[in-house]
A and B are shown apart, each in its own frame.
Chain A
Amino acid sequence: MSSVTGVSLADETPGPHGSAPLSGDGAGTGRLGDRLFGGAAKGAGIFVIALVTLVGVFLLWQAIPAIANDKASFLTSREWSVNDSNNLRFGIVELLWTTVTASAIAMLIAVPVGVAVALFITQYAPTWLSRPAASLIDLLAAVPSIVFGIWGLRTFGPVFEPVQNFLRDHLGWIPLFSDANISGGSTILFVGIVLAIMVLPIVTALSREVFAQTPITHREGALALGATKWEMIRISVLPFGKPGVISAAMLGLGRALGETIAVTIILSTLPDGAKWTFSLLNGGETFASRIANNAAEFDTPQKAGAFIAAGLVLFILTFVVNAIARIVIDRRKAFSE
């Protein structure tokens, strides 16, 4: 295997006349072309840093005054009244609950199904099918999210309603399924299911890649010991692919947390001061959908700041999730070399 970057040993060896080892763009010759090109590449990198810094500064700059003026506790309050700038009262706990629960439902469905589909494509599907099957699942990623939204609300929702009523009528004694008087196809549970469909291709694509990389020796070794195919998968493919699956799940989660338009279309909102319930059959708003629902009406800086503060929390949340995914991926790389 070749090494994975453009680092060359020549970079670290001293120059011909005893000059110091080249550092940075070591293989560059120092000619004008090299300096220009290297500079442009570096410039692009610095541009990205500047861009992100700008976004971060902007979010903080807009959010901090609002958070500072917040008369309620930003992290623990359920209130959200931002129209009177002298009496801002807003907290994110409800948004956090809806966002995290809907995404968790999405993950609970998408990860097992996605892994199974990835296993199907890499291990079970006959060769003629495996490539088309992979492309078909990838097709799901090509459906724009606004289409998921209108399909979910108008077509899938009515079909799902009886299922939801069944849960409510028969499992209503579990707090998670208690009746919250929200019409079918507009609940957190339903949004979670639609999000699961949306992130399925992400989970599948990444898991597929790592499963396909399972060293053939591992698999053949297992088979040679008399393992059935399933046992082979359990003892060689799955352990090898585990970090990949985790990072796939994290990337999918990042997408689910930030999804805006589909959630806005599907999920019913609750009025101010609605009773708190743990029910998944309740409505609510995620961070992104609350911003989208109100984006047209940011008429005072204080009010806009409150929503941007919510955006900031979402930004941090997705960043943490993405960062975990990257750490896991990097670790896998370190181990597999």
Chain B
Amino acid sequence: MTTSTTATTSATSSSTTPPASRGGASTDLGHKARGRAFKDQLARVVMWGAFLLALVPLVWILWTVGSKGYHLLLDAQWWGNSQRGITARREGGGAVHAIQGTLIQGLTTALISVPIGILTAIYLVEYGRGRLAKVVSFMVDILTGVPSIVAGLFIYALWVTTFKFQRVGFAVCLALVLLMIPVVVRSTEEMLKLVPNELREASYALGVPKWKTIMRVVLPTAFSGIVTGVLLGLARVMGETAPLLILGPYTKSIANDLFGGLMPTLPTMINQDRTESLQPAVDRMWAAALTLILLVLLLNIAGRVVSRFGSVKK
């Protein structure tokens, strides 16, 4: 089914049938050629096989979560109500409190980490020379390696043990910031490096100051790539659970105040309901998982759409 397309695509696939197999001047050579052709076919089968194998868990997970969780999502209550007053043995209630919490925390995390991340990337690519830049780059590497649970521990020690504050939604955001900054820095850095230097030099030649060049030329050129990186980073922190185990106790009521008490999120909702063995709670767990996957997927798709419209022109 694919031979015609493959043949017309590119130079790489111009010889899907190995030329050697057409030769075969002597029987010995022909024998060898057949062996080579066999290996070639085998490799093709292995590659297809690997791809199909990789799809198995994806389809399986989406199917499991989808089939077990979809029926609650079809209920308007799911998108309109919280879990207030709903115990594990009762059906009903919704996830709106958790969805709102996840969105608010994600947005706040992004608002803090995106400027820091982009500025750091700008520093590394546009300004950074010498020792300091090397140290910054090194530190970003270390930050990449901070396990999410350690980030949670750190903020707990800072926020609760040292400053004696209450555990609030904002503390969770701070832990997530720690995880999001390196993602934003690295993706922005890659994108800024793709901006051709000629653009910068042309701008300088016109007498535009460096900061304006960066703001008006470099950043807009890399815009879509940066947005994609931000959205992917956001998707990652929204699904993060480990810091929430320490910092973000759950509540069943709607709580949208970042600084006033507990804030429910989808991961904590899943985490709470998975410790129940009663069917209504188990159903809600799968439904919350499906909601979280959909939310993260939406961000990923948005990221891809943005990157499709106007990638860096080379």
Interface residues of A, Cβ cutoff 8 Å to B: 2-8, 10, 23-29, 31, 33-34, 36-38, 40-49, 51-56, 58-59, 62, 112-114, 116-117, 119-121, 123-129, 133, 135-140, 142-148, 150-151, 155-156, 197, 200, 204, 216, 219-220, 223, 226-231, 233, 254, 257-258, 260-261, 265, 287-288, 291-292, 295-296, 308, 311, 314-315, 318-319, 321-323, 326
Is the CB of B37 closer than 8 A to any CB of chain A? yes
Interchain CB contact under 8 A, A260 and B147:
yes
Residues of B190-216 contacting chain A, CB below 8 A: 192-193, 196-198, 200-201, 204, 209-215
Cβ contact of B245, chosen from A219, A292, A315, cutoff 8 A: A292
B136: which of A45, A125, A258 is its contact (CB, 8 Å)?
Answer: A45
- Is there contact, CB below 8 Å, between A311 and B153? yes
The answer to whether B153 and A308 touch across the interface, beta carbons within 8 angstroms, is yes
Q: Is the CB of A58 within 8 A of B154?
A: yes
Size bracket, chain B contacts: 35 or more
> Does B270 sit at the interface, judged by CB under 8 A?
yes
> Are B146 and A55 touching (Cβ within 8 A)?
yes
Q: Chain B residues near A291: list those with CB within 8 A.
A: 149-150, 153
Q: Is the CB of B158 within 8 A of A10?
A: no
Main secondary structure, interface of A, reads helix
- A326 and B127 in contact, given A8-B197, A145-B241 (Cβ under 8 angstroms): no
Does B141 have its Cβ within 8 Å of any Cβ on chain A?
yes
Q: Is the CB of A120 within 8 A of B197?
A: no
A33 near B54: Cβ-Cβ < 8 Å: no
B255, CB-defined interface residue at 8 Å: no
Q: Which of B37-68 contact A (CB under 8 A)?
A: 37, 39-40, 42-44, 46-51, 53-55, 57-58, 60-62, 64-65
- In the bound complex, residues from chain B placing their C-beta under 8 Å from that of A148 are 61
Is B111 in the interface zone, CB < 8 Å from A? no
A86–B39 Cα distance when bound, in Å, is 65
A124 and B127 form a contact (CB under 8 A)? no
Chain B interface helix/strand/loop/mixed: helix
Binds A, one of B77-85, B91-99, B256-264, B289-297: B289-297
Known contacts A36-B211, A55-B178, A133-B51; A48 and B120 CB within 8 A of each other: yes
Complex Cα spacing A24 to B57, Å: 50
Contact B209–A29 (Cβ < 8 Å): yes
Which residue, A137, A150, A227, A288, has most C-beta atoms of chain B within 10 A?
Answer: A150
List 30 A-B pairs, Cβ < 8 Å.
A6-B125, A6-B126, A6-B197, A6-B218, A36-B211, A37-B215, A38-B211, A43-B119, A45-B124, A48-B143, A54-B154, A113-B50, A135-B304, A136-B55, A142-B297, A144-B238, A146-B267, A146-B270, A147-B270, A220-B12, A228-B36, A229-B16, A230-B39, A258-B148, A260-B149, A260-B241, A261-B241, A291-B149, A311-B150, A322-B144
Q: Is the CB of A58 within 8 A of B120?
A: no
Identify the closest chain A residue to B136 (Cβ): A45
Chain A residues whose C-beta falls within 8 Å of the C-beta of B50 in the assembled complex: 112-113, 116-117, 120
Cα–Cα, bound, A51→B143 (Å): 9
Q: Are B36 and A231 in contact (CB under 8 A)?
A: yes
Q: Which of A6, A36, A136, A139 has the most chain B CB atoms inside 10 A of its CB?
A: A6
How far does the Cβ of A70 sit from chain B's closest Cβ, in whole Å? 19
CB-defined interface of B1-43 with A at 8 Å, one 1/0 digit per residue? Answer: 0100110011111111011100000000000000011011011
The answer to whether B135 and A49 have CB atoms under 8 Å apart is yes
- Determine whether the beta carbon of A295 is less than 8 Å from that of B245: yes
Cβ-defined partner of A288 (8 Å) among B129, B135, B147:
B147
Contact of B47 among A120, A126, A137 (CB under 8 A): A120
Note all chain B residues with C-beta closer than 8 A to A155. 60, 64
Q: How far is the CB of B241 from chain A (nearest CB, A)?
A: 4
Query: CB-nearest residue of chain B relative to A147?
Result: B289
A27 touches B210 (CB 8 A): yes
Residues of A within 8 A of B146 (CB): 55, 315, 318
Given contacts A58-B158, A151-B65, A291-B153, contact A120 B296 (CB under 8 A): no
Residues of B within 8 A of A (CB): 2, 5-6, 9-16, 18-20, 36-37, 39-40, 42-44, 46-51, 53-55, 57-58, 60-62, 64-65, 115-117, 119-120, 122-130, 132-133, 135-136, 139-154, 157-158, 178, 181, 185, 192-193, 196-198, 200-201, 204, 209-215, 218, 235, 238-242, 245-246, 267, 270-271, 274, 285, 289, 292-293, 296-297, 300, 304
How far is the CB of B125 from the nearest CB of chain A, in Å? 6
Residue of chain B at shortest CB distance from A265: B274
**B289 near A322: Cβ-Cβ < 8 Å:** no
Bound CA–CA A138/B13 (angstroms): 25
Assuming the contacts A10-B204, A48-B139, asked whether A123 and B47 have C-beta atoms less than 8 A apart, the reply is: yes
A265 to B242 CA separation, bound complex (whole angstroms): 12
Bound-complex Cα distance A41 to B271 (A): 39
Q: Which residues of B contact A323 (CB under 8 A)?
A: 141
What are the residues of chain A within 8 A of B126 when measuring CB–CB? 5-6, 25, 41
Query: 5 shortest A-B CB distances, which residue pairs?
Result: A144-B239, A116-B50, A258-B147, A44-B119, A37-B211
- Contact with B132, one of A2, A45, A219, A319 (Cβ below 8 angstroms): A45
Could you tell me if A44 and B289 are in contact, using CB atoms closer than 8 angstroms? no
The residues of B that contact A10 with a CB separation of less than 8 Å are 201, 204
> Is the pair B157, A147 in contact by a Cβ cutoff of 8 Å?
no
Determine if A33 and B212 form an interchain contact, defined as CB atoms under 8 angstroms apart: yes
Give Cα A25–Cα B133 distance, bound, in whole angstroms: 12
CB-defined contacts of B185 to chain A, threshold 8 Å: 48
Between A45, A49, A231, A265, the greatest number of chain B beta carbons within 10 A of the residue's beta carbon is seen for: A45
With CB as the reference atom, state the residue of chain A lying closest to B158.
A58
- In the complex, chain B residues whose CB is within 8 Å of the CB of A254: 144-145
